[in-house]
Homo-oligomer: A and B are copies of this chain.
Amino acid sequence: MARSWLDYKTDAWVQWCPGCGNFGILNALHRALAELDIDPSNLVVVTGIGCSGRSCYYIKGNTIHVLHGRAIPTATGIKIANPELTVIAEGGDGDMLGIGVEHFVSIGRRNLDITVIVHDNAVYGLTKGQAGPTLPSWWQTKALPGPNLHDNLNPLLLALASGYTFIARGYAYHVKETKELIKKAIEHKGTSLVQILQPCPTYNNIMTKDWYEERIYYLDQEDPNWDPQVASIDDFKNKMGTILEKMLEWGDKIPLGVFYVNLAKDTFEQRLEKVIPTYREYPPAKRPVSANGKPLVDPWILFADKVVKP
């Protein structure tokens, strides 16, 4: 009865380079969807432009390939229009944290229940290897004519500052672990981020498989009592220090896992329901718009505030 990960595969040729970390991410996502048994008809995947953005063609579901940087606002419209859909927004580091950082930040103010997956290879893959927003300064990957002059963004801290209520980091070649992170992110009610460290063997000749694998470790393996959940003011006081420290750790050691979960905030859907009582049952995508082709309202009643009665 339950679905297999193969039920989420399409028959399109997956056009990534051999050894690309995207394969692992795709596989993890397929498996996460299967284990959560999400009906492909109810699944939405929105992707931006980039190598990673091609993912939408490899996932069976309601998919849409939009503009560079605009997966999140598109996903926002979809989720608000039909809150019953499971909505994932996916893109590269350039897509989400470069041109799309406007929306990456702003979605945090909504806590809309969507999952943001960042394929982080620290380069602009599809445009042939320019520096991505997560590439540290002075590093010069293969295709750059000179060293990168920009500092790297910390997506986890940025997500925290923006209001995300679930923040995790995975590693592309660890399919099993990444799958678990994605599952948790999807199950989380609210805006969730999964940053996935993704080797790009073609252009990122610094942050390679080896480079990552010498550095990464899992928070909950290092500390079996690791509990990222912040549910109370006390939790906040007690845990934020460590959580921030872990978020800021980047160098010889790179932590993976769930960094932060906050269940105290209403989702945007819940907020909408408070101001629009009929929202849950009749959200914008599932609402009648006419009665047999005739309008639903009489403006002379609805807009009585504009009518001057003699």
Using CB atoms and an 8 Å cutoff, list the residues of chain A in contact with chain B. Answer: 98-99, 101-102, 105-106, 108-111, 133, 137, 146-147, 149-154, 157-158, 160-163, 240-241, 244-245, 248, 265, 268, 271-272, 275
Contacts of A152 in B (CB 8 A): 109
Which of A105, A157, A158, A265 is packed against the most chain B CB atoms within 10 Å?
A105
Chain B residues with Cβ under 8 A from A248's Cβ? Answer: 240
- Complex contact B149–A275 (CB within 8 A): yes
- Nearest residue (CB) in B for A270 is B149
Chain B residues lying within 8 Å of A272, measured Cβ to Cβ, are 149
Contacts of A157 in B (CB 8 A): 160-161
Q: A101-B101, A110-B149, A110-B150 are in contact. List 19 more A-B contacts (CB 8 A).
A: A98-B106, A101-B105, A102-B102, A105-B158, A106-B133, A109-B150, A111-B151, A137-B271, A146-B275, A149-B268, A149-B271, A151-B265, A153-B162, A157-B161, A158-B162, A160-B161, A161-B161, A240-B245, A241-B241
30 A–B contacts, CB within 8 A, in A order: A99-B102, A101-B101, A101-B105, A102-B102, A105-B105, A105-B158, A108-B151, A108-B153, A109-B133, A109-B151, A109-B152, A109-B153, A110-B149, A110-B150, A111-B151, A147-B275, A151-B265, A153-B161, A153-B162, A153-B163, A154-B161, A157-B160, A157-B161, A158-B158, A158-B162, A160-B161, A240-B244, A240-B245, A240-B248, A241-B241
With both beta carbons as reference points, the residue of chain B lying nearest to A163 in the complex is identified as: B151
A101: B residues at CB distance < 8 A = 101-102, 105-106
Tell whether A110 pairs with B151 under 8 Å between CB atoms, given A101-B102, A102-B102, A162-B158. Answer: yes
Chain B proximity of A201: nearest CB distance (Å) = 25
Give the Cβ gap from A215 to chain B, nearest Cβ, in Å: 18
Residues of chain B contacted by A163 (CB below 8 angstroms): 151, 153
Most buried by B among A109, A150, A240, A275: A109
Chain B residues within an 8 Å CB radius of A150: 109-110
Residues on B with C-beta less than 8 A from A110 are 149-151
Bound Cα distance A3, B238 (Å): 50
Q: A268 vs B240: C-alpha distance in the bound complex, in angstroms?
A: 31
CB distance from A132 to the nearest CB of B (A): 11
**A80, B101: Cα distance in complex, Å:** 22
Looking at the assembled complex, report how far the CB atom of A55 sits from the nearest CB atom of chain B, in whole angstroms.
24
Contacts of A108 in B (CB 8 A): 151, 153
Closest to A106 in B: B101
> Which chain B residues border A244 with CB–CB below 8 Å?
240-241, 244
In order of increasing CB-CB distance, the 3 nearest A-B pairs are A102-B102, A157-B161, A161-B161
- Tell me which residues across on chain B come within 8 A of A149, comparing CB atoms: 110, 268, 271-272, 275
